[in-house]
Amino acid sequence: GSEDFDFDNPLLSLTPPEPPDKEFDSEKEISVVRNVIVKFECIDARVMFNVFNDVYMFIMIAKTFSLLSAESEDTIFDP
């Protein structure tokens, strides 16, 4: 359920914030949260880039095959 999701989410499993009199510690924790968020954004960008590469390769292969089949038809049907 939702407990499993919270356990797997590093943003929610960080230690609770320090009391207000320890400003330096809370700033450090905020920077940790920012670093984790940046890492997630990089992972998302990498996954999207991989998907884009796969689609691009598929299109290139499809174009190559269509060119090859068009050339072979030309050579077969040339008088």
pLDDT in tens, 19-64: 555 554 556 666 666 666 566 556 566 666 666 777 777 877 788 7
Q: At CA 57, angle to CA 54 and CA 63, rounded to 5?
A: 140
Distance, CA of 12 to chain centre = 21
pLDDT at 2 over 50: no
Name the residue ranges covered by the structural domains of the chain. 2-77
What was the pLDDT predicted at 43?
59
Q: How many CA atoms lie within 13 A of 55 on its CB side?
A: 6
Classify 78 as helix, strand or coil.
coil
Sign for the pseudo-dihedral over CA of 23, 25, 26, 27: positive
Question: Is it the case that residue 5 has pLDDT exceeding 50?
Answer: no
